A and B are shown apart, each in its own frame.
Chain A
Amino acid sequence: MNKINSIRKDWSLIETLIAQDRKILDIGCGDGGLMEQLENNRNAMTHGIELSRDLAANAIARGFNVVHGNAELDLSQYSNNSFDYVILSQTLQAMMKPKDILSELLRIGSKAIVSFPNFGHWKIRLQLLISGKMPVTESLPYTWYDTPNIHFFTIKDFLNLCNEMNIVIEKSIGLTSKGRQFDISESVTGVNFFTHEAIFLLSYKNFEPIKIKSSKKVFAKNSVIAN
């Protein structure tokens, strides 16, 4: 699978997670390819952020609302819940503070879509085990000293973080290195082993407010003290 096909595949899967007529922020939007696809196929209203000056200029010249900037510095300017979806495609592993970014995504958007290469894939594990060197693969093609990917993590790591942050995984799509697609939540065994790339649709847990009857507090499942 070459890089372009891989990105297109990623995009078309992201598209399946998105409803019609929604407002979308694409972080790392490049020259607006995914935005264009979502405007055409989902009638979406799109905004984007792009770090690369040239790509941002291309996107703007193609008529997209794109801000040339750095997601790690510039997300704070967006208001709470100002988008239906915030998309972070293949970039979480390159962020300085992935956890902060994740909470920002769900602050700005009602839902977040995050895709990333799985460092727990068997080929990567095997490379490290056998060669004893940092793995270099098709999806992670950089040597350790010049890689933009500074935070490697596996699906298991990601699920643990979501759990810790009270993030609900609404949908999850896994792709094997051969491009076979499956639902991560349904295939229990070996997911972390065979998933090459993962795409998650995330939202925050909806906590039920605590109902106080006389002096006895009744805690519902998944509840938090709301004031």
Chain B
Amino acid sequence: MNTKFTTDTKLESEIAYFKNINLKLESGDLIDSFKLAFKTYGKLNTDKTNAILICHALTGDQYVAGNNPITGREGWWSRMVGPNKPIDTNKFFVICSNVLGGCAGSTGPKELQNGSDVAYGGNFPSVTIKDMVKAQSLLIESLNIEKLFSVIGGSMGAMQALQWAIDFPDKILNIIHIAGALKHSAQNIAFHEVGRQAIMSDPIWKNGKYFENNEVPERGLSVARMIAHITYLSENAMHRKFGRKLQSRDIISFGFDADFQVESYLRYQGKSFVERFDANSYLYLTRAMDYFDHDETFRKNIEFSHNPNNHLKYLIVSFTSDWLFPTIESKMIVNQLNSLSREVSFLEIDTDKGHDSFLLEEPQLDDVIKGFLTSNFTKIDE
């Protein structure tokens, strides 16, 4: 066993500790030791060919399926992952880890700095998607898995999957990239900036040191979530769900209460988010997404710097009503891959549920993921 890694089990979540590893971040900063919280589902087969890494989105965590002890609710993709589900844990060994910089047990601004009893807060170094993936690759190594069958993710998870294909092509066989892009667009950075400004202008935030008084910048964080939540839906979906329906009243109040159902819904979303997510972590992770940009480099990356990526299969999926990561962004990836004659499949799913579609009931998404995994797994299993 490599002594760099230790893993132990804590209640329902496993934690991998990486001691004195001096993880060099893209920013140039070093993290000498860190930990990643992760969950596994299903069993690794004897040949270790059935491992799938699922990468979570901005506010996700390692609890992809089953019960999430933080929220007390079902895992964020439990409709997709589990026994006999599209990502079938009877067949595959599924790993999901909380990203570096996250707040569900992995090293991040909420955690104590190495060798001290003070949390990082704003002293946490800036992390990027590339750094997250590097940390994940160490986790996969510590689990003694040489090659992942697949890396799957939506939104920020899709960014990670693409980064895997660029940085570790020889350690994976395929990626499923859902509702993502080669780069974070100006509009998306703008929305993130509004969210961050909401948090940072909350007087309780105190330059990220709110934890010193055991406080949480609730107002700022919930406003950030409300803004972001709008971008995850579509106009049609919102209209279908809420229209102009009033909340717990028959007539408008001529005031600023939550007259409309949509207001009440957003307020609820903001409030419940504060209970489960760390404000500093939100700043760091949105920044990591903003810095993601392979628009110029992607072709070069897969063409020149990493030749062992010829075998990779790519499944790229977008949604018609997703205006945060619109189809055109996915098609840029597809075009690049096709121009290099790579094995790429692409599907734009017709739905009005917006960016959040990948988390919701979309039978065609289920079918395509299940079929893609099953048929490609059969090919390597032969």
Listed residue (A54, A68, A82) with the most chain B CB atoms within 10 angstroms of its CB: A68
- Expressed in whole angstroms, the minimum distance between the Cβ of A108 and any Cβ of chain B is 10
Q: How large is the interface on B (under 10, 10 to 19, 20 to 34, 35 or more residues)?
A: 20 to 34
**Cβ-defined partner of B375 (8 Å) among A23, A53, A61, A67:** A61
The majority secondary structure among interface residues of chain B is: helix
Cβ-defined contact, B345 with A65, below 8 A: yes
Flag whether B372 is at the interface (Cβ < 8 A).
yes
Q: How large is the interface on A (under 10, 10 to 19, 20 to 34, 35 or more residues)?
A: 20 to 34
Distance in angstroms between the alpha carbons of A57 and B379 in the assembled complex? 19
Cβ-defined contact, B334 with A77, below 8 A: yes
Distance in angstroms between the alpha carbons of A83 and B338 in the assembled complex? 11
The majority secondary structure among interface residues of chain A is: mixed
Cβ-defined contact, B347 with A60, below 8 A: yes
Listed residue (A61, A69, A79) with the most chain B CB atoms within 10 angstroms of its CB: A61
Flag whether B218 is at the interface (Cβ < 8 A).
no
Q: Please, which residue of chain B has its CB at the minimum distance from the CB of A53? A: B350
Cβ-defined contact, A61 with B368, below 8 A: yes
A-side contacts of B350, CB under 8 Å: 53
- Expressed in whole angstroms, the minimum distance between the Cβ of B300 and any Cβ of chain A is 15
Flag whether B83 is at the interface (Cβ < 8 A).
no
In the complex with contacts A67-B344, A67-B345, A67-B346, A61-B339 CB distance below 8 A: no
Cβ-defined contact, A63 with B346, below 8 A: no
Q: Please, which residue of chain B has its CB at the minimum distance from the CB of A60? A: B345
- Expressed in whole angstroms, the minimum distance between the Cβ of A47 and any Cβ of chain B is 8
A-side contacts of B349, CB under 8 Å: 53, 57
In the complex with contacts A60-B315, A61-B368, A67-B348 CB distance below 8 A: no
Q: List 19 A-B contacts (CB under 8 A).
A: A53-B364, A57-B347, A60-B345, A61-B368, A61-B370, A61-B375, A63-B372, A63-B375, A63-B378, A64-B345, A65-B343, A66-B345, A67-B344, A67-B345, A68-B347, A77-B334, A78-B341, A79-B339, A79-B340
What residues of chain B have their CB less than 8 Å away from a CB belonging to chain A?
Answer: 313, 315, 331, 334-335, 338-341, 343-350, 364, 367-368, 370-372, 374-376, 378-379
What residues of chain A have their CB less than 8 Å away from a CB belonging to chain B?
Answer: 23, 47, 53-54, 56-57, 60-69, 77-79, 82-83
